[in-house]
Amino acid sequence: MKKSKLQSIQLPSNEQLMYQHFDGDSPGVMFLGGFNSSMRGTKATTLESWCRDNQRAYTRFDYRGHGESDGKFEDGCIGDWLEDTLAMIDHIDQQSLVLVGSSMGAWIMLLAAIRRPERIAGMLGIASAADFTKILFDSRLNNFEREQLINQGYVERPSTYDEHPYIYTKKLIEDGRQYLLLDQPIEINIPTRLIHSIDDPDVPWQVSTRILEQLESNNAELTLLKDAGHRLSRQSDLTLILAKLKLLLAAV
């Protein structure tokens, strides 16, 4: 199995997406990170170590405006990051893939599986943040923040994960409306596993139950944890994620 190294692909916009990949058994695993995260996070690197130890092909990458890829974070939106993901799926020479999506990455995972059904063999969603732009605008922003978003085109909100506030743009919210999934059947019929904590302060666990309800697949299950928060990066959480991935790979 070849050692992974930092590589890049060029998008039609001439921007570069940075990624790491190594070959191994199929289906390969591809990790999709969350909002304002990078491919060097704990879950991404833990999955790589497991895949390497088990001779499983693996890919992790940064969307535009994230990590080491080109672009400004505040210029991006769900449609852009979905395009990035589809570009990576098309680029990787792997017959089939299991997508592991964390937070926003799980929303993009679902969207990508709809658009590449012949390539995606299974899905593992971690604290899935499907439709989070709608949830943010409808339930999390106060009236002042909504007016600020509309009038100046963006709003800044403090983050518990970064010393700098997160920037949410009007473009992000409006673009997100084109990709909403939770109020309609999700036409995906592949093995799917979801993990969520009921004390998640950022994404309600009911989002994952709604995904489960709307999925066409009957080979789907949700594991609810009691005190794992949103990131699910404790050692016990990582152990559970790897166990679910192993069972999912056996199912596909």
Given the residues 37, 102, 230, 237, select the one marked as catalytic: 230
**Strands of 6-10's sheet, edge to edge?**
6-10, 16-22, 56-61, 25-32, 97-102, 120-126, 192-197, 220-225
CB 34 within 8 A of CB 162: no
CB 183 within 8 A of CB 130: no
Q: Which helix (H) or strand (E) holds 149?
A: helix 143-152
Neighbours of 112 (CB within 10 A): 26
Q: Known catalytic residue: 227?
A: no
Given the residues 69, 103, 128, 208, select the one marked as catalytic: 103
For 3, 54, 103, the CA distances from 199, given in Å and listed in that order, are 38, 33, 14
Q: Known catalytic residue: 49?
A: no
Given the residues 62, 80, 131, 200, select the one marked as catalytic: 200
Q: Known catalytic residue: 21?
A: no
Catalytic residues, by residue number, are: 103, 200, 230
